[in-house]
Amino acid sequence: MSEPLGVVETAAAITSGELSATEGALARIKERDGALNAFSVVLREQALAEAAERDVAQTAGEELGPLHGVPIAIKEELDVAGTVTTFGGLANSTPVAEDGEVVRRLRAAGAVIIGKTTMPEFGAFPFTESDALGVTRNPWDTRHSPGGSSGGTAAAVAAGMVPAGIGGDGGGSIRIPSACCGLFGLKPQRGRVSQAPHTDLWFTLGTTGPLTRSVRDSAVIYDVIRGSLPSDTYHAGETGSFVEAAAREPGRLRIGWTTKPVTLGVRPDPRHVAAVHETVQLLTDLGHDVREVDPKYPDPTVAFVPQFLGGIRAESTMMEHFDRLEKRTRETYRIGSWVTPRVIDVALRATEKVSRKANRVFDEVDVLLTPTQPHRPARTGILMGTGTVRASLRALPAISYVALWNLAGNPAASVPRGLADDGLPLAVQLVGRTDDEPTLLSLSAQIEAASPWPLVAPRD
């Protein structure tokens, strides 16, 4: 079987008649997903029918979208018409009638929705394990987690089963699995991508976006899905084309770096510190003004915890069968009973203060460079048999560099930096100013060109 292509190459090959991408993706899913458990649902018949429709449109001479015929996987928390939106559990049972806004825009651009991907229930943890969907494994080493909560999407893309997939990020859930699986994952500015039919995702915390094997592929998908609706609570500022940003040189930037985590008491793995130092040297060689900084991180606890618990409680009440929620989720629901609307209002006001303090670092630099996560990808089974408190204590270190930027709202990207001596990927995080995804895309593409990363995890 030929090596899988990226988004741009797949669309070009389909348009030229060289490739049947959907059949190839389905074959790779059949070959690889048994060992990985990345997909919760494979929409084989629907995807083949959709691909046939794309062929008919091409034959008829219709204008083709930028994702023409490209198979894309969708995280379980997003609505795909005709499927149950499970949020990673068993508490819903009725298929939704319509696509969510992101899926609708993907189809309008020519994408083929090939299936839905695993996640921990409600995306509550940075590991992809659940009672309903089982354990999802990292394609670089199946003894390890792909991270989470978009771990199914990450595993599917890293294994080459699909060119790209859609995830969500409420506390690092695009960036952490991207780091674990060697992918590029950009959390966009809050309000950049519509959450419709919902008004928001975990209040200020959640965003939606792609996980891809290249920077350019991410930019192509973002240019398709970005843009809020009047019904969305949050709205990002205007930017130019992300594809154009990824294609241009970033210019000489002021880049501040630190390995200091937001969470006290967390020690980053020496390999992650080394990855930052190596990136500092690379960026210096590329002509940037790179300096160590102390971001003077604010404490995000008062703002983050109520929105995390409130988000889980809100999603729990949306379910058709509350009694089918995981025991741990029901425990979390009870623990969060103190999160009233008044508490959320206090947390939202605290979020504004946290954002202002976090953004002070950008008075002196254009981009902040940090590790994406402190520790190496966890062994599988880390959530099994745990309650809310133990699971949260295991999860807390993983979000120690990333969750702050969900509160602040800033765009932030996990950028691959090769493989460590354990055979698993390394990554760094780039954080940008408010609404400045274009600089992150330009800089990330420059890093990718200067220091290419492995694109597809090897088969066992």
- Provide the pLDDT for residue 52: 95
Q: Residue 259 and residue 456: Cα distance in Å, rounded?
A: 28
Judge whether 75 counts as a catalytic residue: yes
353 is catalytic: no
Please state the three-class secondary structure of the chain as a single string: CCCCCCHHHHHHHHHCCCCCHHHHHHHHHHHHHHHHCCEEEECHHHHHHHHHHHHHHHHCCCCCCCCCCCEEEEECCCCCCCCCCCCCCCCCCCCCCCCCHHHHHHHHCCCEEEEEECCCHHHCCCCCEECCCEECCECCECCECCCCCCHHHHHHHHCCCCCEEEEEECCCCCHHHHHHHCCEEEECCCCCECCCCCCCCCCCCCEEEEEECCHHHHHHHHHHHEECCCCCCCCCCCCCCHHHHHHCCCCCCEEEECCCCCCCCCCCCHHHHHHHHHHHHHHHHCCCEEEECCCCCCCCHHHHHHHHHHHHHHHHHHCCCHHHCCHHHHHHHHHHHHCCHHHHHHHHHHHHHHHHHHHHHHHCCCEEEEECCCCCCCECCCCCCCCHHHHHHHHHHHHCCCHHHHHHCCCEEEEEEEECCCCCEEEEEEEECCCCHHHHHHHHHHHHHHCCCCCCCCCC
ω before 173 within 30° of 0 (cis)?
no
Please report whether residue 54 resides in a domain: yes
Is residue 152 a contact partner of residue 38, using CB atoms and an 8 Å limit? yes
The pLDDT of residue 17 is 82
User: Is residue 160 included in any domain, yes or no?
Assistant: yes
Answer whether residue 338 is part of any domain: yes
Catalytic residue, candidates 40, 130, 149, 444: 149
Q: What is the mean pLDDT of each run of 10 residues along the chain (460 residues)?
A: 85 87 95 98 98 94 96 98 98 98 98 98 97 96 98 98 98 98 98 97 97 98 98 96 98 98 95 98 98 97 97 97 97 97 98 98 98 98 94 95 98 98 98 98 98 88
Strand duo 412-419 + 289-292: pairing: unpaired
Give domain status of residue 122, yes or no.
Answer: yes
- Gap between the Cα atoms of 87 and 28, Å rounded: 25
Catalytic residue among 130, 173, 228, 400: 173
Look at residue 455 and tell me if it is in a domain. Answer: no
> Which pLDDT score, from 0 to 100, does residue 1 have?
53
For residue 298, the domain's CATH number is 3.90.1300.10
Please answer whether residues 401 and 261 qualify as being in contact, where contact means their C-beta atoms are separated by less than 8 angstroms: yes
The number of residues in the chain equals 460
pLDDT at residue 20 in the model = 83
**Is 113 domain-assigned?**
yes
Q: What is the pLDDT of residue 459?
A: 79
Q: Is residue 2 part of a domain?
A: no
Terminal Cα distance for the chain, rounded: 14
Contacts of 235 (CB under 8 A, 6+ apart): 191, 228
CA-CA distances (angstroms) from residue 133 to 16, 76, 221, 378, 441? 38, 11, 27, 18, 34
What's the pLDDT at 2? 64
Question: Which among 165, 164, 140, 221 has a CA at the least distance from the CA of 188?
Answer: 221
Domain count, the chain: 1
Is residue 173 flagged as an active site residue? Answer: yes
d(CA 398, CA 104): 32
Report the pLDDT value the prediction gives residue 157, as an integer from 0 to 100.
Answer: 98
Which range marks the domain in which residue 63 is found?
A: 7-450
**Which CB contacts under 8 angstroms, 24+ apart, belong to 341-346?**
343/306, 343/310, 344/203, 344/306, 344/307, 344/310, 346/302, 346/306
459 in any annotated domain = no
Q: What is each CA distance from 365 to 189, 190, 256, 354, 438, in whole angstroms?
A: 18, 21, 6, 18, 16
The Cα 232–Cα 197 span in angstroms is 9
pTM of model > 0.85: yes
Token output for 326: 């995981």
